[in-house]
Structure 1
Amino acid sequence: MTKYMTKESLFEIQSIANPVLAPNEQEAVFIRTHINEKENNYNAHLFHIDLESGEITQWTYGNERVSSPQWSTDGKQVAFLVKRNEKQQLYILNRRGGEAQEITTLPNGVNSFLWSPCGEKVWITSTVKKGLDITKEEEKEDTKFPKAYVVDKMKYKADSVGLLKQDRYSQIAAVDLATKEVNTFTVGNYSHSLQGISHDGKTLVIGVNREENTDNVFRTPLYLVDVDTKEETVLIEEDGYFGGVEFSFDDRYIAFGGSDNTFRNATHGHVYIYDTETKTTQKLTEMLDLPVGDYGVADIQQGVSAPSVMWTENNDLYFQVSTQGDIRLYYATLEGALYPASPENEHVYGYAIFKNGNRALLTVSNGTFPGELFDFDITTGERKQLTTFNEKFLNETTLSEPEAISYTSNDGLTVHGWIMKPAQYTEGEKYPLIVEVHGGPHTLYANTFFHEMQLLAAKGYGVLYVNPRGSHGYSQEFVDGVRGNYGDGDYEDIMAGVDYALENYSWIDESRLGITGGSYGGFMTNWVVGHTNRFKAAVTQRSISNWISFYGVSDIGYYFSEWQMLADMNDVEKLWHHSPLKYAANVETPLLILHSERDFRCPIEQAEQLYITLKSMGKEVGFVRFPECDHNLSRTGIPNLRLERLEQITGWFEKYL
């Protein structure tokens, strides 16, 4: 019997991600994540696949989340991270089976790890309190006599973390697998990250910033460190974000991903190559006016972690590129040849490359396909589906097929997006249309599966979602086009999309338009209802309403405002001009405000200001607060509250549309 998408479909859809190829290239592991309805949480388990026979075996079970699987160099073991007691620790499984062995029992657990190629030790990072050894337990805080939190820096809190412990640092250590002895490798009151290791095991790449105060420092230098002598060589130390280091098979070249600070956080990601012989670095993708990496937004894939770049044995490279609404696998040579290696109209959200470069394992999604694991022949384009975890759901559920559109905005800019008909569409009927606006703003809607969009279509709405200026995946000029001018060209792009839809799709009822979005999409929803009365209902989520207060209350406010608005507290006129709160008196659209109470990115006071202001003016407004949740409620939030959020959205539109 055919059914339509419901909010409870979240419990049926499974996320297949993070394929890791074994050294023998005859087998692989991957992670399957699903929502555990009974426990109201997420379970992520390790699976093994024999690539020749196609046989799939589940390797871990229970109410837990496994992450970061890595094969040992000899292919006999797989290490992974999982929280089985209080802290996340390192475990190792023998590929022939048996119980996973707990390798670490560190008081603060393990944050990340890398196998040493010798197979006898594993490099790890763990959080350490100032003055303590990595293996020493901290004194338990007395909850009866809580301590005050003294703030002396501007970077003192973070979304999904809370207040930062100022005297804690991430240190690198080596764990001897035979004895389980932990030997600290780094020292000093600075946080260190593990970025990569050479195939001969002699060189680590670490990230560390040794500035005393990093409030206005936006770089983490990468260093090559000799494992024996600890001698450091700078790999890169410019402003921006760099990481995901991979050594070529011959250890001559080091590839890494990153973006400099030219356009602040709107700068395109690129692939960089360091030659250890000539000691020179080149930006391999300089001629590509697209961002390297996966900037797609969706709500199904869980715990996705794809490599920044992967080498072949011939010193060619593969990496992801966000382009025109796709996330594609790209191929490059050191000489500068560069072209897409996977098809259009899909989202490659995970990959593993065979050494010869002719074959890959891919996890792939599209607008009507949540994602599975595929074996992909890069030379012929043929692919074989290896997993069918979502087959039952797909066979039973009627979905709406997103149709790609492009149109011209008011100033001649071409904007790309999608429109979905209601899932039970009947020719000749009229239907309401809901406009969705993504966050970021430097992300993109993509050719990927979106439960929320399908749910709205199942409820009888058309759905329009577009990539206005500020979105990734087009050009550097396009993604930079919103900075300093939120609510201008981006607003025009969205409204031009509405006009395009009304002109070209006669099934849309112009008198029943709705709009919703989160984060930047929440800002834009607030802005829209303050600047037009065309929408009959709106739902704003985790939004910004007041740039002046956002500057001081957001975990990133003091620099994000300067980067994005090109204004700080010395120019409150500009901050206020771009604040939706300024235009509250104009709002005539019934507005529902949804916000998480632990959102430190766009703190809940942004919602509180907007709600009280609109309510005091006698406007039609609702406000729903979600306890225990942060900025990522819609994607990774507590499952029952994700359902409540969807119910609130659909209920509001049902009431007013």
Structure 2
Amino acid sequence: MTKKVEMTDLFQLQSVTDPQLSPDGNEAVFIKTHIDEKKNTYIANLYHVDLATKETTQWTYGIDRISLPKWSADGKQIAFLANREEKNQLYILSARGGEAKQMTSFAYGISNYRWAPCGKKIWFDAPVKEGKTFTDEEEKDDDNRPHSVRITNMNYKMDRIGLVPQDMFQQVGVIDVESGEVTQFTEGSFKYSLQAVSNDGKQLVIGVNRQENLDYAFHTPLLLVDVETKEETVIIDEDGHYGGACFSFDDNYIAFVGADRTFEIASHANLYVYDTKRGNRINVTECMDAPVGDHTVADHQQAANAPSVVWTKDNHLYFPLSTMGDVRLYFGTMEGELYPATPENEHIYGYDLTKDGATAIVAVSNATNPGELYVQTIATGERVALTSFNEQYVQEVELVEPEAIVFKGALDWDVHGWIMKPAGFEEGKKYPLVVNIHGGPHAMYGNTFFHEMQLFAAQGWGVLYVNPRGSHSYSQLFVDAVRGDYGGNDFKDIMAAVDYALSEYGWIDENRLGVTGGSYGGFMTNWIVSHTNRFKAAATQRSISNWISFFGVSDIGYYFTDWEHGADMTDVETLWKHSPLKYAKDVETPLLILHSEKDFRCPIEQAEQLYITLKSMGKETEFVRFPEADHNLPRTGIPNLRIERLTELTGWFKKYL
């Protein structure tokens, strides 16, 4: 007999990510993450799987977090990062077994790395203080006295990090594997990122912006750098975000992914190929009206790290594409041939391919599969499961299969989404319905496992979640349409979704409707309750209530408001017009306000303003604050706080629905 989904299922679910094939394609390593309830933390270990026998073996057993495993070119060693010393350091493990050797003890850890093809060196990038080296000890005040911090730039803080050190820069270096000797390769007060190492070991792709003031520098040029001479060739130097570079096997081409700023952060990312001989580049996906990359929001997978692009020996390319609510693996050629290599109705969140392109290892999730690894024959699409970490959970728990829906939104546009019946659904009964709105707004709900949605269904509620305009995976026009129109046609899309659900599903009790959402979804929840009384209860999470104050307090506020509203502090009327706080007097729906203390993306003052304003007007509202939590609490937050958040959400809707 199956049981219903519970909050504490977070401690049973296993996250299987980052599959990396060995150079000969016969074996792979990957990361499995679980939450340790007693230690109240995430534990991630390295696993190995033999593709022929399907035998899976755990290779590390620490209580730390392993990440970014990579094989050496000869397949004899695996490197990885681990936070065994609090900060991430680099380790090397023999493929034949034994203890991992620690390669770095950097003061501020290591960010990223790549093997040199000879297997004798490892390139990396890591933070270093100005005038110091990677290995200089971290400076600490012995008596823990507080000190003032001088701020001279606008981009001075970041969610999940806090204040960004003004004298800290990212540099590229190289480690001699045998001796452990570390050499710094780049220099100057700049932030470098290591992108790729050529297969002959003679060239690097490095990202760096050397402008003096980076407050409004929203691009990072990609440079092709000669290892011996340090001579630089510009691959791309344009406004927008570009990265994920990868050399073809013959080193004649460099593939990378990026988006220009035509539609600011709503711009579709494309796959580009740079010709190292001719110095020109092509846009491989120019004809596709969908973004390259994974834009799905969910709450289960931990540290999923899918490559931006993978080459095969015959210069074919594979890359993830967000399309129609799916994330699919696509095949491409430089001649413009493009087609999907994986089916619809699923989420590819990790992958790798053999050099000949015949076989892929894919990490796959769907609405009722938390995610496992499969080996797939590209020519036939045939798959065989390699892992089964969540198999018992799926068999023991009643998971509800969402039904895909399409309805007409504002301007008669098609809008896509999903509706879930309550777990244990009985024909003829009436049930509450909770609408759940995603953040972004330029993200998307997809065909992937979402614990929170399943938990809501387990409470005996229907669940409606849709991708209103502003969401990715449908078209450039669709994702851009929300900019300058927050609370306009996006609001109408969501209300149209409710109307559609009520007209098509007789089991929904129209008098017991709830609504919730986080980030942009929190903004929209605030907007909904200040513009309609259709909902009996609402819960707003990490929300935005006042775009005027958001401009100055958010880590992205000073440019995000201009990008999304076309307004800054010289046009406060526009910012106020789009602010739910302006309409607080019209709120009649009981509103639960949830917010993290260390949220720098949507700072907690947004919740404080809303709460005090509503309370002063005698509105029915409560405010729950989560200490030591940031904007990503629902996905990567401290485990006990994730449980408390879900407890608050379900408790509020139980009370009113």
Q: What secondary structure is seen at the aligned counterpart in 1 of 2:204?
A: strand
Matches within 5 A, 1:327-346: 327-346=327-346
Amino acid at match of 2:150: V
Matches within 5 A, 1:515-534: 515-534=515-534
Partner of 2:353: 353
Partner of 1:637: 637
Q: Normalised by the size of structure 1, how large is the TM-score?
A: 0.99
Partner of 1:277: 277
Aligned partners of 1:124 and 1:194 also within 8 Å:
yes
Deviates more, 1:296-305 or 1:138-147: 138-147
Partner of 1:561: 561
| Pairing 1:125–2:125 present | yes
Partner of 2:178: 178
Amino acid at match of 1:442: H
* Rounded Cα–Cα distance in structure 2 between residues aligned with 1:82 and 1:339: 37
| Pairing 1:580–2:612 present | no
Partner of 1:4: 4
After superposition, the C-alpha distances for 1:179-204 in whole angstroms (9 at most, x for unaligned) are: 10101101101111000111001000
Structure 1 runs of 4+ aligned residues shifted over 4 Å read none
Q: CA deviation at 1:410?
A: 3.2
Partner of 1:30: 30
Matches within 5 A, 1:66-105: 66-105=66-105
Partner of 1:492: 492
Matches within 5 A, 1:546-625: 546-625=546-625
Q: What secondary structure is seen at the aligned counterpart in 1 of 2:412?
A: coil
After superposition, the C-alpha distances for 1:263-303 in whole angstroms (9 at most, x for unaligned) are: 10000010000011111011111110100000001000000
Q: Normalised by the size of structure 2, how large is the TM-score?
A: 0.99
Matches within 5 A, 1:317-466: 317-466=317-466
**RMSD over aligned Cα atoms:** 0.7
* Rounded Cα–Cα distance in structure 2 between residues aligned with 1:60 and 1:86: 17
Partner of 2:505: 505
Matches within 5 A, 1:160-179: 160-179=160-179
Aligned partners of 2:400 and 2:422 also within 8 Å:
yes
Across the two proteins, how many residue pairs are aligned to each other?
Answer: 657
Amino acid at match of 2:595: H
Q: What secondary structure is seen at the aligned counterpart in 2 of 1:411?
A: helix
Q: What secondary structure is seen at the aligned counterpart in 1 of 2:384?
A: strand
Aligned partners of 1:235 and 1:274 also within 8 Å:
yes
After superposition, the C-alpha distances for 1:360-417 in whole angstroms (9 at most, x for unaligned) are: 1000000111000001112111101110000110110011110000000131010000
Partner of 2:649: 649
After superposition, the C-alpha distances for 1:181-229 in whole angstroms (9 at most, x for unaligned) are: 1011011011110001110010000111111110011011110110011
Aligned partners of 1:129 and 1:138 also within 8 Å:
no
Q: CA deviation at 1:435?
A: 0.2
Q: What secondary structure is seen at the aligned counterpart in 2 of 1:305?
A: coil
Q: CA deviation at 1:146?
A: 1.9
Aligned partners of 2:24 and 2:354 also within 8 Å:
no
* Rounded Cα–Cα distance in structure 2 between residues aligned with 1:535 and 1:259: 38
Q: CA deviation at 1:108?
A: 1.6
Partner of 1:44: 44
Amino acid at match of 1:589: T
Aligned partners of 1:265 and 1:563 also within 8 Å:
yes
* Rounded Cα–Cα distance in structure 2 between residues aligned with 1:230 and 1:39: 47
Matches within 5 A, 1:170-319: 170-319=170-319
* Rounded Cα–Cα distance in structure 2 between residues aligned with 1:447 and 1:88: 32
Q: Percent same amino acid among aligned pairs?
A: 63
Q: CA deviation at 1:142?
A: 4.4
Aligned partners of 1:72 and 1:78 also within 8 Å:
yes
Amino acid at match of 1:629: A
Aligned partners of 1:406 and 1:416 also within 8 Å:
yes
Deviates more, 1:409-418 or 1:591-600: 409-418
Aligned partners of 1:94 and 1:100 also within 8 Å:
yes
Q: What secondary structure is seen at the aligned counterpart in 1 of 2:644?
A: helix
| Pairing 1:13–2:13 present | yes
Deviates more, 1:79-88 or 1:201-210: 79-88
* Rounded Cα–Cα distance in structure 1 between residues aligned with 2:268 and 2:101: 42
Q: CA deviation at 1:143?
A: 4.7
Aligned partners of 2:47 and 2:58 also within 8 Å:
yes
Deviates more, 1:128-137 or 1:587-596: 128-137
Q: CA deviation at 1:107?
A: 1.6
Amino acid at match of 1:210: R
Amino acid at match of 2:563: W
Q: CA deviation at 1:136?
A: 1.7
Q: CA deviation at 1:132?
A: 1.1
Q: What secondary structure is seen at the aligned counterpart in 2 of 1:25?
A: coil
After superposition, the C-alpha distances for 1:79-138 in whole angstroms (9 at most, x for unaligned) are: 000011232110000011000010111222211111010110101112111111222224
* Rounded Cα–Cα distance in structure 2 between residues aligned with 1:333 and 1:62: 42
